[in-house]
Amino acid sequence: MAQSTEARSQAPRLGAWAEGSSVRWRVWAPGHKGVDVVLYDAEDRVLRKVPLTPEADGCFGGALPDLAEGTRYKLSVDGGDPFPDPWSRSQPQGVHGPSEVVGSDHGWTDSHWKGPDPQALVIYEVHVGTATPEGTFEAFIPKLAHLRELGVNTLELLPVASFPGARNWGYDGVDLFAPQATYGGPRGLRRLIDAAHAHGIAVLIDAVYNHFGPDGNYLRAYSPHYFTGKHHTPWGDAVNYDSEGSRFVRSLVLSNVEMWIRDYHADGLRLDAAHAIVDDGQPHLLAEIVERAHAASASGRRVVVIAEDERNERKLVTPASEGGYGLDGVWADDLHHQLRRAFAGDHEGYYQDYTGSAEDLAATLRQGWFYTGQKSRNLGHARGTDPKGLGPWHFVHCIQNHDQVGNRPFGNRLSEDVSPAAYRAMSTLLLMSPFTPLLFMGQEWNARTPFLYFTDHNAELGKLVTEGRRKEFAGFSRFKGEEVPDPQARDTFTRSTLDWGELDNAEAAGVHTLYKELLRLRATEPVLTSRQGTHDARALGPDAFVLERRAEGDTLLIVVNLKGSLMHTLNPRASAGIVMWSENPRYGGTVAASPLTGNVLHLDGPSAAVVKLRE
């Protein structure tokens, strides 16, 4: 039976916050006899220890006078070693150091900002630590003008919650409320978001609610109920969202959602591996995340919530009023996989589920995802649901992202595995489709810097991570005989730093021009911007397909040739005009003449063309 939101998720405020000239603490530590606040100075020396008072529901609380923001502390349970606060808003010395009391004041300049349009997102995925040589929030601010001129309107930050060490993708986070200190902490993140809004760019936070990292994770020191053996995930016991004590754990997540939107002015969230957020109760945590995110927004500012979810599950984006969870979008990786199979030849692992044929690519484009209930050979069971009736903007498509680059053993960009012509063709399809496009940082100039898997764990855990990483790829035939880079090595991290200087070479400049012109077309062409537009896709023989966009009485054809030569005759009753072709020399191609002669389109090798028809 469904419970009310209050019954499942409401809990008293936890953590530490300033109240006038005092600081108040509240800690959830059920089953324990006492909790002390241990105060520290700036040199990490203990100043004093103060006991908190037992409260209802296994909490301990109290206020200490003559303290303010900047106060540093740890918490000691039952007289044991002091640990950081799991609800800490700041960890200036890392996940093992003292927590810090911080406020939400900033002096925001974005009162005009109305938030992103969920039906018109162009997402740019960024790892803060490798996006610039400095690797900080503030160092990325000068790059915002580049994104605006490119045509990007949404910046998606890989997880910024505090993780161990200085080098990590962010998915080993343990302090959900504390922006990573080496990135610039709370102040730096607020400055970046404020600056992004000034450039007309929304900011999404990649939030990880399916697990906590192993290093610096002190949750079990406070309560055994943060996790449950009822469910299991690839990371071990699941986070407890539906068993004893789950009310406080759900509150941890929902308070975090509120914080990003309210205190940092973030425009929404990307939920990592939502299929691993296990909740057998009602309402489901995902539905509550959406509800809480929208409620936290000020003055009706628009907020979007997008999930990474491998199930191809339509319920995720079905409105709550129709029995769904009400998310705005979902990562749909089937198109990426089909394109890699077609152009790069990938066939191991989950790629065995894809043919990359023109027929299957067209089916994926018609539907948004390919698997709608068929059996997956890789998984051994049926996958997917029928997406009929869902708006295409709900599907987030890419031709590369942090996972698809970084989860390859050598962090190879797409440019390492497909020809420049294929890259241009894939890019044209991505940006001309009706689906929400996601770009991985540097993609707009076909960056050559790898994005490797890197960590900065303690020596014992780091050794296990290195061994596990190399074992993971031992069974793949294409990687045999090569040693996978050590995630713990600093060089693995520094090699992943994006080289913006590449933009100065001619080949990169051509691709950059292609992206700018395609995104300008996406934003201005009535056929592409119409909310009443329709689309269809079909194969043009075994090695080519066409995506049709229709609106306002006009049709835009995006024709993609996989290989060989294509001669395609268009409707003789329509007036046809070439809009662009990917092999134009201005983009780095070698075909100076228009591929359209009369109503006949001629493409050779991997290439794409956009043609406008008017009957």
Contact 591, 583 (CB under 8 A): yes
Omega before residue 283 within 30° of 0, cis: yes
In angstroms, rounded to a whole number, what is the distance separating the alpha carbons of residues 388 and 549? 17
Q: Of 15, 223, 188, which is closest to residue 99 (Cα–Cα)?
A: 15
Give the model's pLDDT for residue 474: 72
Query: Residue ranges per domain, the chain?
Result: 5-100, 459-488, 530-614
| Residue 391 tokens, joined | 């708006």
- Write down the CATH number for the domain with range 530-614: 2.60.40.1180
In angstroms, rounded to a whole number, what is the distance separating the alpha carbons of residues 6 and 291? 13
Contact 118, 302 (CB under 8 A): yes
Binding-site sequence positions for substrate: 270-275, 333-337, 402-407
Q: Give the lowest-confidence range in 111-125, 409-423, 481-495, 499-513.
A: 481-495
In angstroms, rounded to a whole number, what is the distance separating the alpha carbons of residues 61 and 591? 72
Give tens-digit pLDDT for 22-56. Answer: 999 999 999 999 999 999 999 999 999 999 999 99
In angstroms, rounded to a whole number, what is the distance separating the alpha carbons of residues 282 and 2? 5
Backbone angles phi, psi at 28, to 5 degrees: -95, 115
Inform me whether the pLDDT recorded for 398 exceeds 50: yes
In angstroms, rounded to a whole number, what is the distance separating the alpha carbons of residues 96 and 457? 12
SS3 36: strand
Inform me whether the pLDDT recorded for 3 exceeds 60: no
* Mean confidence (pLDDT) of the chain: 95
Binding-site sequence positions: 270-275, 333-337, 402-407
**Token match 């030569």: residue?**
565
Active site residues: 272, 308
Give tens-digit pLDDT for 301-329. Answer: 999 999 999 999 999 999 999 999 999 99
Give the model's pLDDT for residue 299: 80
Averaged pLDDT, 490-498? 97
Inform me whether the pLDDT recorded for 560 exceeds 50: yes
Q: Of 590, 541, 549, 538, which is closest to residue 567 (Cα–Cα)?
A: 541
- pTM of the full structure: 0.97
Q: Are strands 381-384 and 534-539 parallel, antiparallel or unpaired?
A: unpaired
Vertex 213 angle, CA 207 and 218, to 5°: 110
Give the model's pLDDT for residue 298: 78
Burial 588-598 (b: 16+ CB within 10 A, else e): bbebeeebbee
Inform me whether the pLDDT recorded for 478 exceeds 70: no
Give the model's pLDDT for residue 1: 44
Cβ neighbours for 71, distance < 8 A, ≥ 6 positions apart: 16, 23, 39, 100, 101
Inform me whether the pLDDT recorded for 452 exceeds 60: yes
Give tens-digit pLDDT for 229-246. Answer: 999 888 888 999 999 999
Per DSSP, the residues of 548-567 read EEEETTEEEEEEEE-SSEEE
Confidence of residue 615 (pLDDT cuts 50, 70, 90): confident
Give the model's pLDDT for residue 554: 95
Two domains, one topology: 5-100 and 530-614: yes
Percentage of residues of the chain with pLDDT beyond 70? 98
Confidence of residue 473 (pLDDT cuts 50, 70, 90): confident
Task: Determine which helix (DSSP H) or strand (DSSP E) holds 342, and give its type and residue range.
Answer: helix 334-343
Inform me whether the pLDDT recorded for 391 exceeds 60: yes
Q: Of 260, 252, 189, which is closest to residue 217 (Cα–Cα)?
A: 252
CATH 2.60.40.10 given to domain 5-100: yes
Give tens-digit pLDDT for 193-205. Answer: 999 999 999 999 9
Partner residues linked to 59 by β-bridges: 28
Inform me whether the pLDDT recorded for 581 exceeds 90: yes
| Residue 68 tokens, joined | 């303010």
Task: Determine which helix (DSSP H) or strand (DSSP E) holds 286, and give its type and residue range.
Answer: helix 285-296
